[in-house]
Chain A
């Protein structure tokens, strides 16, 4: 049974947003193809809807929310480790991500 676990917010987006926690190794449908999750994905997190090349804009809500800092495979978690803000650096408790 395939339950919809990711939502597409805008047809031009290159990321999907998680609606339910997905476990490592779980197979999910991404843009018509099955992808195996390499990492657990929590609610609210993003995965790539298509292959993204380093330097490409990350599109969510139909607008750029930052840029890829590595190549990102389809189905891969998109977060601080592979994208950065084009506006202002993001901070976590431990470190500054992005550049």
Chain B
């Protein structure tokens, strides 16, 4: 495998140019720049809000300096709250080509679209010969999320991703799992896997925070319907989601945008700190995927039972289908049929190996299904976080 070597030493598996709108008012112009260029590697991302927010600025800094990103064009209306100068400086400091176009200073919609097309075209030419370097499994950073889950998710796709994570970590890769709200009941099981007592305590605290947050948002935990589906206890229900983490030691906790400072397995704490302020922690699956990418994920393993079709800007999404019927129905969207476990055709560990092989293919340049279909979804909203504690990142 070969990757794109970045100035900070990290290696990407793609060499994208991202066109970034910094407020919804600049969205149309940015979208038209991307549509006119019509190139696989040129992708649209952005932030819709006009009020400044530390989280969204930090996320944008991490996304624009992600190893899969080769260059950036910022599209600003001109008067929005986003600190475009700081974002541009961070990108410049990372050694990437960066251009900013400001609609109010460039003569409006048409002229800014034309200017943006010019800037993107120049950057595409400039980054075509970016330095390549040998990419090994230990360079990989892989995230996982689930969405559109059903009764099969916890017994096929999620354990298969866990088996794949075990292979990856054994080979020196970095893996990230999340959804602390769905880990309620297994925090003590999880703490037993922590590499230190301090980290174990931090993992428990992290799940307690999620429990309190979701209670305030009016979420329940173990519902009667769960028992009808065969789940007997809270810890069993949570294990269905937790199974994605595999069985390796847990080496740290990160918050969205924190880059793991060592190899191994990390829990991402996605639940905001403090009183609920901006609503649900992640309003849809792509918000979770974006946070994985901000923390350096080169691709995301997405398990689904009912059948999500989304992909993502910046980093490819690999779709692992838990339900054999859904797989047949949505075969063009699914990379892996973990439903074969349900049908008794494959074991959990065989499908884990199949996911690993798929990761290597995608890292080597093959497109995942959602990527080939042009899925480039992206969503970033408001959140508030305190900095991560010292016992977690090390």
Q: Which residues of A contact B (CB under 8 A)?
A: 3-5, 7, 9-10, 17-19, 42-46, 58, 60-66, 78-80, 83-88, 90-93, 97
Contacts and interface: CB of A to CB of B under 8 A. Distances in A.
Contact of A42 (B188, B222, B230, B343): B230
Contacts of A7: 155-156, 341-342, 344, 348
B243 interface: yes
B236 interface: yes
B233 A45 contact: no
A1 B159 CA distance: 28
B188 to A, nearest CB: 8
Given A3-B344, A65-B239, A90-B222, A9 B155 contact: yes
B230 A46 contact: yes
A74 B155 CA distance: 20
Interface string B146-180: 00000110011001000000000000000000000
B107 interface: no
B343 A44 contact: no
Interface of B: 151-152, 155-156, 159, 185-186, 188-189, 222, 224, 227, 229-236, 239, 242-243, 247, 341-344, 348
Contacts of A10: 159, 348
Q: From DSSP, what is the main secondary structure of chain A's interface residues? A: loop
Contact of A63 (B155, B186, B230): B186
A85 B235 contact: yes
Given A7-B341, A7-B344, A9-B159, A44 B233 contact: no
Contacts of B156: 7
A44 B230 contact: yes
B232 A80 contact: yes
Contacts of A60: 236, 239
A10 B152 CA distance: 16
A73 B233 CA distance: 20
A24 to B, nearest CB: 16
A91 B230 contact: no
Nearest to A88: B234
Contact of B227 (A58, A63, A86, A90): A90
A98 to B, nearest CB: 8
A9 B243 contact: yes
Given A7-B342, A19-B343, A85 B348 contact: no
B230 A62 contact: no
A66 B342 contact: no
A14 to B, nearest CB: 13
A79 B231 CA distance: 8
7 contacts: A7-B344, A19-B343, A44-B151, A66-B232, A66-B233, A85-B234, A85-B235
Nearest to B150: A44
Contacts of B230: 17-18, 42-46, 79
